Amino acid sequence: MGPEQAGAVVRPVFAKSALTRSRIEGIDYAVNPYYGCLHGCRYCYAACMTMRRFPDHVWGLHVHPKVNVHRLLDRELSSARPGLVELGTSTDPYQPIESRFQLTRRCLEVLSRHSGFDVALLTKSPLVLRDLEVLRAVDAEVGLSLSGLGGALWLLEPRAPPAEARLAALRRLSSEGLRTFAFISPVLPGITDRQIQSLLRAVAGARPSRVLVDALRFRPGVLRSMRQALYSSPDLLRELESYASDQLGWLQRVRAAMEESAEGLGLTVEFLF
């Protein structure tokens, strides 16, 4: 077993395609080198998508490397219109298994040989630092995702790297001259909203090129999964239910608080809700 956690079930698969049209505004194509994600975040919208494809899949414990994804990508880019390619829209491209399979790195190397494609990726892992040179070669924009600075966050992100490691990776990428962004997402009730000042201060210290903030969205199965994860924390469970009953009002209050804190820090924040 490699650096992935004990108990992980790794089942390599052969994909039929690598480059898919993205439904995310501003992103033309998505590349996901893996089905599933060993970080096991309980709020992730991709869980239900993966489990529809693999009915016996346990989110956070099963992962399916697409072992031919880089070869497919090379072929498909040859006939694709230029556009923005994002790695990791439904999986973390630098989850622990990437250390063994290196599929994200191989996809980046393929992209470096095709002109006309902008590259972006989003991760929670400092493993991204391994690929500094190839990221520079494709002029990638690299985002680090985080929802808080610790505390009870582990209940919802049971196997994700700690926030300190993500911020350190973001700081290093920024210092190396790469285009970077901090992605505060999802904004978690009882966690993110209790750490706004300290979180934004920490993000500002990592000097990202930009900061994006997005809401917690209840895609199929997400609310049930989060309720199960927070069963042992009644206070957080109450906060979750409060958010579920008045999402718009809650988000408006959080946005106002974030805007005030960001202004005091000289930080510009883009809200996606």
Give yes or no for residue 171 having a pLDDT over 50: yes
Q: Quick check: helix, strand or coil at residue 262?
A: helix
pLDDT tens-digit series, residues 238-264: 999 999 999 999 999 999 999 999 999
pLDDT in tens, 13-48: 999 999 999 988 899 999 999 999 999 999 999 988
Q: 23 and 82 in contact (C-beta within 8 Å)?
A: no
Q: Which of 3.10.450.50, 2.70.70.10, 3.10.200.10, 3.80.30.30 is the CATH number of 9-271?
A: 3.80.30.30
Q: Give the integer Cα–Cα distance in Å for 251 and 232.
A: 25
Element (H, E) at 53: helix 46-53
4, pLDDT greater than 60: no
Q: Cα separation of 121 and 141, whole Å?
A: 7
pLDDT band at 5 (very low <50, low <70, confident <90, very high): low
pLDDT over 50 (residue 173): yes
Q: Is the pLDDT of residue 3 over 60?
A: no
Higher local confidence (pLDDT), 3 or 247: 247
Q: How far apart are CA 149 and CA 182, in angstroms?
A: 13
Domain boundaries defined on the chain: 9-271
- Mean pLDDT of all residues belonging to the chain: 95
Backbone CA torsion sign across 213, 218, 90, 148? positive
Note the pLDDT tens digit of each residue in 178-211.
999 999 999 999 999 999 999 999 999 999 999 9
Please give the model's pTM, rounded to 2 decimal places: 0.94
